[in-house]
Amino acid sequence: MTETIDKTALLQFLLRMGDNTLILGHRVSEWCGHSPVLEEDIALANTALDLIGQTQLWLDYAAEVQGEGRTADDLAFLRDAWDFRNVLLVELPNGDFGQTLMRQFLYDAWASIMLGRLQKSADERVREIAEKAAKENAYHVERSADTVVGLGDGTEESHARMQAALDYLYPYVGELFESDATDAAMAEAGIAPDPASLRAEYDAFVGRVMAEATLTIPEKAYVHRGGRSGTMHTEHLGHLLCTMQWLQRAYPGCQW
């Protein structure tokens, strides 16, 4: 299978999947010990654990496809920002709890559709990873949707904060559905769907949840892009990597 398709494209696709979960998992883990209530602290840690677990699977496979003898850890800890392929949405700072949960829902909603399609991938490894991740994601999206609805339709203050979070984050949603040559190659090989093809389902789902949350999706939102292509990340990613990669960079070649 993988011999007949473009390895560069497959690697790009796997990095996009793995970098999304890595960076988002890292962001969510920043909450540990600081959440509004113990039950939420524990739940967020579960989400972060699932995402980092998925990262290991995606990046392991990516390292294998790359064929340079590297590991998932090498890819996570030894690449610089320009080699990261996550969407900008996941590298944005946590903001308040509402912004974190809004970002989580906007990502989860996309992942739930994407992982559903990937379970029919022509690539067995992709299929296996998607199957495991889809189960975890099904819970994440239920929880993040509930929280967005609860806070959107809560008090005046919580509503205002959630609307502000949606207004801030929505311009970063469009990038999830961008298609380029890599996506065309993946779709052609039957490995992954064309991202653009997920949009209608996403809009319907997110529209339902936001209506229930009494929140208004911004009309004609601008689309910030540059993360999944690697051409222009936000300034935030560099700081995140500084923290995350520091030990590996300061003491290269050690066993931890």
Work out which of 151, 189, 206, 215 binds another protein, going by CB under 8 A. 151
If one asks whether residue 180 binds another protein (CB under 8 A), the answer comes out as no
Part in contact with another protein (CB under 8 A); list of ranges 86-94, 150-158, 178-186, 218-226: 150-158
Question: What tokens does 208 get?
Answer: 């339902």
Question: What tokens does 252 get?
Answer: 């290269």
Do 13 and 192 form a contact (C-beta atoms < 8 A)?
A: yes
If one asks whether residue 142 binds another protein (CB under 8 A), the answer comes out as yes
Question: What tokens does 53 get?
Answer: 């677990």
Do 47 and 104 form a contact (C-beta atoms < 8 A)?
A: yes
If one asks whether residue 153 binds another protein (CB under 8 A), the answer comes out as yes
Q: For residues 88 and 185, what is the distance between their CA atoms, to the nearest angstrom?
A: 22
Q: For residues 165 and 96, what is the distance between their CA atoms, to the nearest angstrom?
A: 9
If one asks whether residue 237 binds another protein (CB under 8 A), the answer comes out as no
Q: Where are the alpha helices (DSSP H) in 81-188?
A: 88-91, 97-118, 124-152, 156-169, 181-188
Considering the complex, what minimum distance in angstroms separates the CB of residue 255 from another protein? 6
If one asks whether residue 69 binds another protein (CB under 8 A), the answer comes out as no
Phi then psi dihedrals of residue 67, to 5 deg: 70, 30
Part in contact with another protein (CB under 8 A); list of ranges 6-14, 52-60, 178-186, 230-238: 52-60
If one asks whether residue 103 binds another protein (CB under 8 A), the answer comes out as no
If one asks whether residue 146 binds another protein (CB under 8 A), the answer comes out as yes
CA 34 to chain centre: 22
If one asks whether residue 83 binds another protein (CB under 8 A), the answer comes out as no
Chain residues that interact with another protein, rule: CB under 8 A: 22, 26, 29-30, 32-43, 45-46, 48-49, 52-53, 55-56, 59, 72-73, 76-77, 96-98, 139, 142-143, 146-147, 149-151, 153-155, 157-159, 161, 243-244, 246-248, 251, 253-256
